[in-house]
Chain A
Amino acid sequence: MSTKPKIGIIACSGENLVGGTLSRAAARIVVEKLRPDKTVILCQPLFMAGGLERHGGAEERDFANTHPTITIEGCEEECARIAVDRYSGKPAATIYVEDIINAHPELKPKSKEDLGKDGMKLAEIIAEEIAEKVDELLNQN
């Protein structure tokens, strides 16, 4: 049986900055609307969790070992990229949300709790960029 190739999407999951919220919103837009058949969400907290052998959850790391992954970083700490790099090898691509925020100064997200209209527009722009990267990676494979 052949399976369709998929790309793993790992959003930063940070809670301190609006970049975390944008990265999560963009990830959901990609997997729900833009590329639902080509992508899956990987849970970053699970990815980084210690002692997985004790409490389960190694599937995320296993998936990233055998599939290309795109990490989405909400801030300069690059937690998602570092986690994938540490546990499953180099991610296929990394999207930096701050770069996209800076490229669109006209769009101002309301807050990290509520992105508002501008924030959702930004999330869609980020999602488009991720979707393009998904297509690029699948074409390479």
Chain B
Amino acid sequence: MANKKVYIIPCSGIGKVFGSIGREAAYITVNELAKNKSELECLPLVVKGKPEVIDKLKSNKVIVIDGCPLKCSYNDVLEAVGKVDAQFMSTDIVKENRDIKPEQEIIPMGKNAKKLSHKLAEKIAQKIDELLENEEGGEQ
């Protein structure tokens, strides 16, 4: 059983639906698909440099999810923590599923946007297993 956790940090943008897809995917991951293996962390607290948050991220695995090419979550976490173990773009899942067009509404999110979030969450959950397996392998 892995002792380390994987912290998921979505970009939290609210200007477009892509930020919401990333956030929803993070919720699905930590609450359903990788429950007990992953937790959410708050990006503003990371950027603010809250010591207990930074220490926790340094000693565990970190996955970031971004919703636009500016990659705030990736860049901010890299700068504050010094590492990112894996990164996802919600726009990639949209490109990979061109038959599922996300609705632009954010509150509430549309059905297609939710479907895409689930697909993204499945990829993230798979990555969590990989990261934790590698960690266990490395410790043996």
B15 A15 Cβ-Cβ under 8 A:
no
Q: Which of A25, A45, A80 has the most C-beta atoms of chain B within 10 angstroms of its own C-beta?
A: A45
Size category, B interface: 20 to 34
Measured between beta carbons, the chain A residues less than 8 angstroms from B15 are 41, 43
Interface: B23 (CB within 8 A)? yes
> B106 on the interface (CB 8 Å rule)?
yes
In the assembled complex, which residues on chain A have CB atoms less than 8 Å from the CB atom of B26?
Answer: 15
A56 in contact with B70 (CB, 8 Å): yes
Contact B70 A44 (CB under 8 A): no
Find out whether the CB atom of A50 lies under 8 angstroms from the CB atom of B79: yes
Interface of chain B residues 56 through 102 with chain A (CB within 8 A)? 70-73, 75-76, 79-80
Contact between B27 and A113, CB atoms less than 8 A apart = yes
As a 0/1 sequence over residues 50 to 78 of chain A, the CB contacts with chain B under 8 angstroms (1 = contact) are 11000111000000000000000000010
Task: Offer 11 A-B interface pairs, CB within 8 angstroms, sorted by A.
Answer: A14-B43, A20-B42, A24-B107, A45-B12, A45-B47, A48-B43, A48-B47, A50-B80, A77-B44, A79-B45, A83-B44
